[in-house]
Structure 1
């Protein structure tokens, strides 16, 4: 998947391949059929006009009003496995920041809209890249509303260093998003399966494709730390702890800040972003 050229990437297909690994009994044929139907109905509304602002508003209407998709308020931190993959949005009509963003981008991509991922601390949102559109940012956890970059900087305390290095708020390529989706999938091996070597191997390959993903460098450090606690031999344990420190420090040098607290997401749901003045 990491070798797929940018022009050939289909975000939904990549997501389903990863989900199948986490859910071996997943009925991909059924879910693909349901997703294609969803996209077709969304397109009937959103493609009525050649206007990017209309596209976003129509998509938001279909996804959040007609379909009733919403943030899973029982899982603000995205710890449920189902909230790590976009098919979960289709089946439960709920999600976290990770799979709500990839689901939104998957739908937009199938419709031919230039919508790409944007990384923020422990978070992703979407961006419709078109010079005709002033309000390009799309917040999938906030019913598709708009927040300017400056608001993310203020609310998430993003440092100038993180902006300068392109760690956060840059428009990502689909290849970079795929790399981050694969890196996130490593969490299944680390958390659910406690298979630390495989998780590290997955992260290593994914980070080679998106080396600016500070959150996942930090996550690699956390895995080495957890792994170290399992080691009986002192020398091996110290090696794991040293690697944990190195990767965590690397993430901090890239501008990774303090972890967001659950309260941040709760407050976000109380005041969802708007698309623009008076909307």
Structure 2
């Protein structure tokens, strides 16, 4: 079995902060940030996370027929508006979805959207739909006096409507327990990251995971979409495994589990997913990683 991307959309953003914003408060520069990360600007939202996620999903413009076919709603996030209820439970009502669905939040940090995609494929039966959303308001947890994290993290939300197909599904995922390199403690309130260690993790684990999936699938990959953590990580993996890689980190920075969903949305808007085999790969806190292959719908919109 496999998954087909029916639709993808993202939150509309209107207030961006370029790198010069941080020159006023941190020992950094636009040139340094671009060189080290590839980031040129990012978005910080003034809306609650639930509203961000809702607007991303609303931008899918789901029909009544599509809503009736949804059997699963997963929202990947590191922090919702409430501990209870979940963002997914809130959105089930706001989006007018059927009551007979499973809806829950998933927290595996930046790997979350890929993890949600893999769970969706496992849960659905052929012809059923899943709505998987990545939504993060990392500005709530960012110490803007910490150069290590302030320049990297940002806010965003993306949503994807999947249909279960009869095609084979190829995946790889794992967890390497760590409590030091990327953390957000409940009693501290700020994200902390050891950038060098996360870079080492990503560049050692992700090529192996991607190669494992490619070997199992033995099919042409038209498009690689990695978690948008750092342009240097993406470039490193591309050199190891050549292909057509999409990156939008320069416009959005690191939005954790929202990044892959937002990349899919950008490409869907350009009609650049249709009929393509797409490899998704995420990595992040936990430390966790996940890789899978999905396909863009063949039908012309």
Q: TM-score interval w.r.t. the shorter chain?
A: under 0.3
Greater strand fraction, Structure 1 or Structure 2: 2
Pick 1 or 2: higher relative contact order, CA cutoff 8 A, min separation 6: 2
More helix by share: 1
TM-score w.r.t. structure 1 length? Answer: 0.28
